[in-house]
Structure 1
Amino acid sequence: GMVLGVSSFQSVTHILEAFKAQQKALEREEQKARRDRSAAKPPPQPSSSSASSRPRAGSSSSKAAPPASAPPAGKAPKPVATIVVPAAITSAVNLWNVSQLLREKRWISPVELKQSGAAKPAEIKLEHCFEDGSRARFLVIENANKLSEAEWRNVACVIVQGAAWQFKGWPFKSEADLFTKVLGVHMRTRDETPNQLVKSWNVEKYAFSKEKVNQHDVAVTVSSFWQAVHKSMTVQKPHLLMKPHQLS
């Protein structure tokens, strides 16, 4: 019985080793194919070409990007850009519905989502490809009070609710100071009364229809939002953008 035990153990070991070798070979092939693909990629098109020739442009994907090859020595990976959203369930955009809004250009009422039993995510991670082919990784959060000074430098956008207490404890002298340094955005549904406080703030203001038949209205708003984010990041936070040639 002992001999049988040893030999069957050895055969299992052989099978495992053969399997590992096979996996390694597959990985090597995959890496080679990836290298060949990147070598065969056509040169990037000039930015003057129409966006329609690049179907990927302006799309957000929730899938993690394939692991980039290790960055060259001394070159750190790009930091993640942060978007801060309101915590209030009554806000048109918050952690309940921001994923559907920014990824799928669909607006769903946060109140309805909560009533349906959906759980509120603690945070949302997404990647967005802008129209010029550059990209950024985003982390969407609602509580900015835990951010360090260094992390504040990576805040690309604050979606405002329209109440000053949202910024309580934030490292800015005033709302004016905040919106000089960080892109402010206010979104509301068309049936909401415009917020008087927001009117006086230097923020991008969007209103869209919440009717299902007018989903196009939401898509237009989301496209405008990403354009504003891109413009602001290009000027104020270029360190958060990955240019097409950096997308290893």
Structure 2
Amino acid sequence: MDALAVLREYTVRNDLENVKLMGDEYFFGEDYRFPRNVETAYRSKQGSLYTLESLVFFVRNKHVKHTEYMQQARGLKLQIVTYTDRKPLQDYLEGKVSSTDSIELVPTSTGLPLREDRPKRRPEEENEAVGSDDNNAPSKRMRMEAEDYSKDAGIFVSDSSGKSLIEIIRDRERPVRDRESILICHNKNFQGVLALLKGRDDERRRADDQVKKEAEKPVEQPGMPTSNSASRYVNVEEKRFWKDHLGTDAAEELGIDPSQSYADSIKPKDNARPKPDTRIGRPPSQHLHHRPPLSSSGHKKPEGPPIIIVPSASQTMLNTYNAKEFFEDGVYVAPDVKAKSLTKKPEDVVIYRKMGRDHPVKYEIRDKPSVFSKKDWERVVAIFVLGKEWQFKDWPFKDHVEIFNQILGIFLRFEDDSVESAQKVKQWNVRILSLSKHKRHQDRTAALAFWDSLDKSVKSRKLNVII
């Protein structure tokens, strides 16, 4: 029987006066004895097991206020029963509940019975065993019976170093499995996994070889629009091919723009003569004459960088004060903080997009669309909205439906703001971006989400602008 069950039995029958501490052991009448510091089966909510000595002290002082009990236990250097464990532990020891989740399924300590049928002793031994030397020491008879039980059962309560039975057992314990032996799988092999990985490596190698073959194929005259010219510069290997064969200076002279499907115009040298394309067999005149790119509406590509409209109000989350930091670096700075370092509010802000681009792309951030010309409106690619209809007053559009069918709309808000502020915007064809008020490391995620939405919008609407 374990120490916790014995202590509960003596507590239920109100027999704690027969639980005595003799030396380093607790004697429960003449039935059991346990080391005073042995761990019981009751585990604290903090994770540790309560010792027998701490539980005996607790059950004897259960009527004392918890603060006084803590002071007394701390003075005796005993393990303290926490306030959360106090009530369930007391109910269990007093027999009010039969079990609790805090009790280990396997007992952690085993007591040594003191009364059991033993070989009869000689009369003189019986006489010597009767009585006790003093009130705090076990009788000679009890010690002799304990020694006999230990010898008969093959149990050694302690060795020469003074270790208890539990300590000796734990010293001799060895792990059956460790982190390496558990990986040993008998009658198993990993041939299937190796074959799968090898297959993936072969597919990757074939794909790389295919890219190299495509790069080594002869190409048409630079500047000639082809069926796959729109995606010619997407592949890194093809970029490298053009750079190695033409060089940076030659590409510029020929009018090749890597960000476009073909050049706006060809600017050959005065003495440069186009060579016929022997691979296709077409005369050189067909390769030289081509029209400039047209937008979906049939107009020429607008002159100037794309425009992003932000609100002009100073109390908005994003305006010309803090637009540069947000769009270029992905860092949000409150407008009022930024305004302190500037003497005048900027009307037009020039930024250079670096996110998702090998080379910076120029943009204009403007907040006064009422003065835009028709050519300016052709360059507008995104609008940051306030959620108010009056923002679109005097704009050359019928209503907000027509606006956001042609231009990307963005509504910027803090993620913990009230939902009512975005109720009206949810009815519009706009993208809602949320920022955290305190987690500044998440600002870049919102900025990348904006640029990603802008790329998809320009591509789907076939706008003829460089983004």
2:387 alignment counterpart: 162
TM-score by length of 2: 0.35
Q: 2:353 aligns with which of 128, 141, 144?
A: 128
Q: Deviations along 1:65-124, whole A, 9 cap, x unmatched? A: xxx878646868963101000011111111110011111111111122224555322211
CA, structure 1 residues 186+209, in 2 after alignment: closer, same or farther (shift >3 Å)? same
The aligned amino acid for 1:227 is D
CA, structure 1 residues 141+224, in 2 after alignment: closer, same or farther (shift >3 Å)? same
2:4 alignment counterpart: none
1:224 aligns with 2:413: no
2:332 aligns to what SS in structure 1?
A: coil
Q: 1:209 aligns with which of 432, 436, 451?
A: 436
1:97 aligns with 2:286: no
2:65 alignment counterpart: none
Superposition pairs of residues 55-204 of structure 1, within 5 angstroms: 72=266, 79-117=304-342, 119-129=344-354, 131=356, 136-193=361-418, 194-204=421-431
Q: Would the aligned equivalents of 1:134 and 1:241 in 2 still touch at CA under 8 Å?
A: no
1:46 alignment counterpart: 235
Q: Would the aligned equivalents of 1:233 and 1:241 in 2 still touch at CA under 8 Å?
A: no
Question: Whose relative contact order is higher, 1 or 2, with alpha carbons under 8 Å and at least 6 apart?
Answer: 1
Separation in 2, partners of 1:77, 1:135: 19
Separation in 2, partners of 1:141, 1:237: 23
Q: Would the aligned equivalents of 2:302 and 2:378 in 1 still touch at CA under 8 Å?
A: no
Shift in Å, 1:241? 1.7
CA, structure 1 residues 89+132, in 2 after alignment: closer, same or farther (shift >3 Å)? closer
The aligned amino acid for 1:80 is P
1:58 alignment counterpart: none
TM-score by length of 1: 0.63
Shift in Å, 1:166? 1.0
The aligned amino acid for 1:228 is S
Shift in Å, 1:202? 0.8
Separation in 2, partners of 1:172, 1:77: 19
Any runs of at least 4 consecutive aligned residues in structure 1 with deviations exceeding 3 A, and if so which? 68-79, 115-119, 129-136
Query: Any unmatched runs of 5+ in structure 1?
Result: 1-42, 49-67, 243-248
The aligned amino acid for 2:368 is N
Shift in Å, 1:197? 1.9
Q: Would the aligned equivalents of 2:385 and 2:411 in 1 still touch at CA under 8 Å?
A: yes
Question: Which one is further off, 88-97 or 121-130?
Answer: 121-130
Q: Would the aligned equivalents of 1:125 and 1:137 in 2 still touch at CA under 8 Å?
A: yes
The aligned amino acid for 2:235 is P
2:328 aligns to what SS in structure 1?
A: helix
The aligned amino acid for 1:92 is M
RMSD of aligned residue pairs (Cα, Å): 2.9
Q: Deviations along 1:98-152, whole A, 9 cap, x unmatched? A: 0111111111111222245553222111232563758642111000111122221
2:424 aligns to what SS in structure 1?
A: helix
1:229 aligns to what SS in structure 2?
A: helix
Separation in 2, partners of 1:196, 1:47: 44
Q: Would the aligned equivalents of 1:128 and 1:136 in 2 still touch at CA under 8 Å?
A: yes
The aligned amino acid for 1:182 is I
Q: Deviations along 1:20-40, whole A, 9 cap, x unmatched? A: xxxxxxxxxxxxxxxxxxxxx
Q: Would the aligned equivalents of 1:82 and 1:139 in 2 still touch at CA under 8 Å?
A: yes
Separation in 1, partners of 2:328, 2:378: 24
Shift in Å, 1:47? 6.8
1:240 aligns to what SS in structure 2?
A: coil
Separation in 2, partners of 1:95, 1:125: 10
Separation in 1, partners of 2:387, 2:305: 26
Count of aligned pairs between the two proteins: 179
